[in-house]
Amino acid sequence: MAFEVRAIHGRTVACEFTDMPSLVGDVRMQPLWQTQIAGYPMRRGKVRDIYDLGDRLVIIATDRISAFDWILPTAIPDKGRVLTGLTLFWLEHLQVANHLLGTDPREMGPAFAEQAEVLQGRSMMVRKTDVVPIECVARGYLAGSGWKEYRNARTVCGIPLPPGLLQGQRLPEAIFTPATKEESGHDVNISFDEMAERVGFPLAELLRDRTLDLYTRAAAYAETKGIIIADTKFEWGKAPMGEVLLIDEVLTPDSSRFWPRDQYQVGQSPPSFDKQFVRDWLEATPWDKNSPPPELPEAIVRQTRAKYIEAYERLTGRTFAWT
């Protein structure tokens, strides 16, 4: 069946979606590409379908996956459930003020209840907030774009760092590197001072301190489970009475860089539990990143799903319910 998806960056991916041949008979392996809930305004992000219920939202994490600002034409079965399950785990573990109201589709209204089986495990009803237009990023290790910048300028997002650091090395202390939330193209790294100019110094200081606190506590916990959280990003919103709440996904493989502790070596790019695995596969193809991306092979789909589920089970200590 044909479909069209408009990404939040304004780019449209249109292609034909077909079930992967050897997965057709396995109901558990059928991905959820998108949802259709009648009666509510809805917008689609790269991964989430968001329904407006007035003073509340219902956020449904689909199995879409994006890379290099494109939604890929192949979904990863149960990816949305992993993202939602990990978010719920971290909200409980970190005990931070957040927007969550409930997770049972049967309590979100009749239209959602009718599709409860499909929506179970991937849906959150949340308070509506005014989203702070800044990505709040915490980095504890030298990786990704931070490593590229450091090699050229000995800085990460403009923050000076000691000389002689290696790829993947732990930073002397975690750093806060905010970025703008762009409607088109990549988010743009900005300084703390510029963030303060945009949202005000008191809020910028509060979000910096909360971001670094959450990252530090989460990273320490993850280490006990054999996972390094190299970096992560948080999003925040202001409730009508002014309370600042943690919103959206929290410390998932989509919003964080997860490395297995037992395979970590300074000076190398470690294997990951996040979608870097998919990015690496795409980098090895002839795809030019300017035209619609290729389908993911079944082996990559299965391995990516397995990595997401392993991250969930390691961090939560629970068996993934949809294995």
Concatenated DSSP letters of 68-131: TTEE-SS--TTHHHHHHHHHHHHHHHHT--B-EEE--GGGS-HHHHTTHHHHTTSEEEEE--EE
Task: Give the pLDDT confidence of 12-22 residue by residue, as tens digits.
Answer: 333 333 343 33
Helices then strands, counting H and E runs in the chain, come out as 8, 18
Cα–Cα distance between 11 and 69 in angstroms, integer?
A: 8
CATH of domain 2-130: 3.30.200.20
Tens digit of pLDDT per residue, the chain (323 long)? 333 333 333 333 333 333 433 343 454 568 999 999 999 999 999 999 999 999 999 999 999 999 998 999 999 999 999 999 999 999 999 999 999 999 999 999 999 999 999 999 999 999 999 999 999 999 999 998 899 999 999 999 889 999 999 999 999 999 999 999 876 556 789 999 999 999 999 999 999 999 999 999 999 999 999 999 999 999 999 999 899 999 999 999 999 999 999 999 999 888 888 787 798 899 999 999 999 999 999 999 999 999 999 999 999 999 999 97
The pTM assigned to this predicted structure is 0.89
End-to-end distance of the chain based on CA atoms, in angstroms?
27
Taking the C-alpha atoms of residue 295 and residue 285, their distance in angstroms, rounded to an integer, is: 11
Residue whose C-alpha is closest to residue 48's, from 72, 30, 65, 29 = 65
Q: What is the pLDDT of residues 199-243, one digit of tens each?
A: 999 999 999 999 999 999 999 999 999 999 999 999 999 999 899
